[in-house]
Amino acid sequence: MHEYSIVDSLLQLADEHARKNNAKKVTKLEIKVGVLSGVEPDLLQTAFETFKEGTICEEAEFIMKIQPVVVRCRDCGFETELKKDEYRCPKCNSGNLEIIDGEDMYLMSLELETD
């Protein structure tokens, strides 16, 4: 279950940014999770709620934005979000697709309280 190690890394990163900015706590942590990232959002939420206790993120709101798969057709250049079980360009019907979003997880923003 790699969600626990992901949360550990997020908490360390949040702590590092809070210290650099002389913040006493993190009030919000927002991430983007691609549907092909291999991260299970429900498990990530549970892991965050479990491991944030006793950290600078203890009172932080955890916001996850789920990023669908976005592809670009290498034949016609059309960009679109793919729905489940679609593997062809909806414009030209080519299967020559490049994934341009939806495979990664990113820390998008942190809200810090400094006073």
- Predicted local confidence at residue 1, as pLDDT: 55
Q: How far apart are CA 102 and CA 79, in angstroms?
A: 13
Question: How many domains does the chain divide into?
Answer: 1
User: How do the pLDDT tens digits run along the chain, 115 residues long?
Assistant: 589 999 999 999 999 999 999 999 999 999 999 999 999 999 999 999 999 999 999 999 999 999 999 999 999 999 999 887 788 999 999 999 999 999 999 999 999 998 7
CATH of the domain at 11: 3.30.2320.50
First-residue to last-residue Cα distance in the chain: 37
Tell me if 2 is assigned to a ligand binding site: yes
Residue 94, domain member (yes or no): no
Q: What is the pLDDT of residue 59?
A: 96
Measure the CA angle with vertex 60, ends 30 and 54; round to 5°. 130
What is the domain extent for residue 46?
A: 3-67+102-113
Within a domain: 80:
no
- Edge to edge, the sheet with strand 105-113 lists 61-67, 25-34, 105-113
* Domain-located, residue 13: yes
89 is in an annotated binding site: yes
Single pTM value for the model: 0.83
- Judge whether 57 is annotated as a binding position: no
Q: Is 92 annotated as a binding residue?
A: yes
